């Protein structure tokens, strides 16, 4: 058999310093690119601010403490539930009773569904009293994604805000 009939021998691969450098730079480049993308998405989707001016809010801290004490002294029992209706809307129902169990009259409730990570997704819900003076209020919000939401419930009366609560709820 002649040498022309034999297949050529494959060239032997040798791992050189240049190969190792290219592999190392490539791997770290991928890690940096992915970290940069995740950093961009985190900062652009959640600015991290809850209030525009903490100093200005701190000027009303004692007023908020006094309002919370007055609310606790009233002994009101306010409960809220959220369910989906057939149209996919998030329906909020609020029941408000005083310390004796009688329906609370003369309050106008408003609710806000706050997204925990993106304030642009917050939904304000107009609450209307259910007829009959039963202390029941109802409202609905559209385009509310399933998941965990913060419910801020405010009850305004003749003297201004008389009730405030912050709760977490899960919408399915």
pLDDT at 1 over 60: no
Q: How confident is the model at residue 104 (pLDDT cuts 50, 70, 90)?
A: confident
The CA distance from 41 to 160, in Å, is: 40
Instruction: Kindly state the tokens that stand for 116.
Output: 């925990």
Tokens 């190969």 sit on residue: 19
The CA distance from 164 to 172, in Å, is: 25
Instruction: Note the pLDDT tens digit of each residue in 9-24.
Output: 778 889 999 999 999 9
> What's the number of CA atoms in the CB half-sphere (13 Å) around residue 119?
8
Q: Give the pLDDT confidence score for residue 20 in this predicted structure.
A: 96
Q: Give the pLDDT confidence score for residue 107 in this predicted structure.
A: 86
Per the prediction, the chain carries an average pLDDT of 88
Query: Smallest Cα–Cα separation from 169: which of 108, 107, 97, 84?
Result: 84
The DSSP bridge pattern shows strands 108-114 and 160-171 to be unpaired
Q: How confident is the model at residue 62 (pLDDT cuts 50, 70, 90)?
A: very high
- Supply the pTM of this predicted model: 0.67
Q: What angle do CA 164, 166, 172 make, to 5 degrees?
A: 130
Q: Are 151 and 169 in contact (CB under 8 A)?
A: yes
The sheet with strand 123-126 has its strands ordered as 123-126, 108-114, 147-157, 160-171
The CA distance from 34 to 38, in Å, is: 6
Instruction: Note the pLDDT tens digit of each residue in 121-161.
Output: 889 998 988 877 788 999 998 888 888 999 999 998 888 88
What are the phi and psi torsion angles at 170 (to 5°)? -115, 125
pLDDT at 3 over 70: no
């Amino acid at each position: 058999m002649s040498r022309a009939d034999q297949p050529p021998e494959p060239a032997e691969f040798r791992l050189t310093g240049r190969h190792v450098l290219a592999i190392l730079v490539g791997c770290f480049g991928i890690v940096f690119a992915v970290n940069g993308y995740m950093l961009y998405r985190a900062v652009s989707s959640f600015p991290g601010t809850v209030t525009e001016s903490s100093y200005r809010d701190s000027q009303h801290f004692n007023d908020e403490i006094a309002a919370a004490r007055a609310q606790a002294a009233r002994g009101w029992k306010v409960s809220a539930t959220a369910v989906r209706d057939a149209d996919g809307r998030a329906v909020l129902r609020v029941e408000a009773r005083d310390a004796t169990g009688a329906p609370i009259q003369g309050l106008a409730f408003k609710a806000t569904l706050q997204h925990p990570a993106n304030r642009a997704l917050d939904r304000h819900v107009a609450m209307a009293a259910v007829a009959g003076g039963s202390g029941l209020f109802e409202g609905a919000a559209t385009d509310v994604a399933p998941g965990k939401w913060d419910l801020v419930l405010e009850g305004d009366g003749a003297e201004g805000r008389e009730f405030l609560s912050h709760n977490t709820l899960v919408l399915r």
